[in-house]
Amino acid sequence: MLGPPPPPSYPPVVSDDSVSVDPLRPEINIDVARLEGIFSYNAFNPLPIAPFHSGIRRPLEIPTDLSAAVYALPSMFNHACLANPGWQSLGDVVIIRARRPIAAGEEITIPYTTGYYEDRCRFLPSMIGCPCDCQLCEDERKDTDEDRRTRIKYLAKLMSEGLSILKPVIEIQQWAQEFQGTYSPSRSTMIKLEMASFNRTLGDKVRNLMNEAARKEAVEHDMRVLENQGFIIERNYSAQKVQSGFALPVDLRALPTTTTMRAPVADMILIARSYQILGGNENAEAWLKSAHTYVATVIGSGKYLFINMFGPVLDECGALPVDLHAIPTTTICPPVVDMAIIAKTYHLVDNQESAEA
């Protein structure tokens, strides 16, 4: 992908001509602007660990006061919006794990940002100096400028009018149909991030009608949200007859990097709750396990972190037909680096005790 070629060895070989510099008492002139540039281009913004509620399914204003830190090994990864691993943070620890099988010799990339195409285009030039050439961005550029302007207009209407309880569902469905027509049929992926906002709004609206038909329709919209983000869903999933490769209704062998982890987990929990209300406890259990296993796959932690992070969403949904404490702590995709990346980072900052741990 975009960026310089990876170094031939890691850690990079230190030249014998290098000079140790005390930043408080420099004997040579330190290029402060260059140091600031290195930090700006390589810094990560670790997010705090905190419980999340279903409101996180809506786009939130990005805080401007996030902490920032440079991590030696993660900073070497180049960017791709549709990357092969993704990264998450647990406090000040960065974890990078595979989202799909990675072939020998394939470059490992991570997403520097997520969001709609226009948002990514505004952010990425300052980070990589040119447009992204990943498969998702190539697909996005197949849409015309007029189509993208139409999407921006409808998204603004959706945010200003569509969330109102007074707005009829049928009108939003008409918007969604026109919105769907703005995507080029020649796209090579099914990812349509903006369309996820329409399906999420429609799902919430019909769910509030509180009848069986509406619940079934809400589940359909919730699944479309996940598909719009790049998840592969087994629509004919059955706990009795598991399709080839689908031990759960979400294919955890190919997970997208187009969104942060939190919103898809909340969507899966809401699908589980809808199935439970409809009397499909086995499907409800499968979707709740999908949510838990997805978190375990992308972070590598267990059920207690899952319960801590998504407790408010679980509380909003009420009792669910599975004992989370009985779920084994497993992962589907093996980590690309994971513990090794943490150990190497500690080693680089001369914290040998933590590195060995």
User: Per-residue pLDDT for the chain (357 aa), expressed as one digit of tens each?
Assistant: 555 666 677 666 767 776 677 777 767 777 888 888 888 888 888 776 667 665 545 544 455 567 888 888 888 899 999 999 999 887 788 889 999 999 998 999 999 988 899 989 888 887 787 888 899 999 999 999 999 999 999 999 998 887 777 888 999 999 999 999 999 999 988 899 999 999 999 999 998 888 899 999 999 999 999 999 999 998 877 665 555 545 889 998 899 999 888 889 999 999 999 998 998 888 888 999 899 999 988 887 667 788 888 888 887 776 565 555 555 544 333 333 344 444 444 444 444 554 454
Phi/psi of residue 170, nearest 5 degrees: -65, -30
Contact between 309 and 324 under an 8 Å Cβ cutoff? The reply is no
356 burial type by CB count under 10 A (0-12 exposed, 13-18 middle, 19+ buried): exposed
- Read off the pTM: 0.79
- DSSP reduced 3-state for 32: helix
Hunting for tokens 């969403």 — which residue is that?
A: 313
* CA atoms of 19 and 128, how far apart (whole Å): 29
Which residue, 71, 196, 189, is CA-closest to 141? Answer: 189
Which residue, 74, 40, 114, 132, is CA-closest to 336? Answer: 74
Structure tokens belonging to residue 199: 């399906």
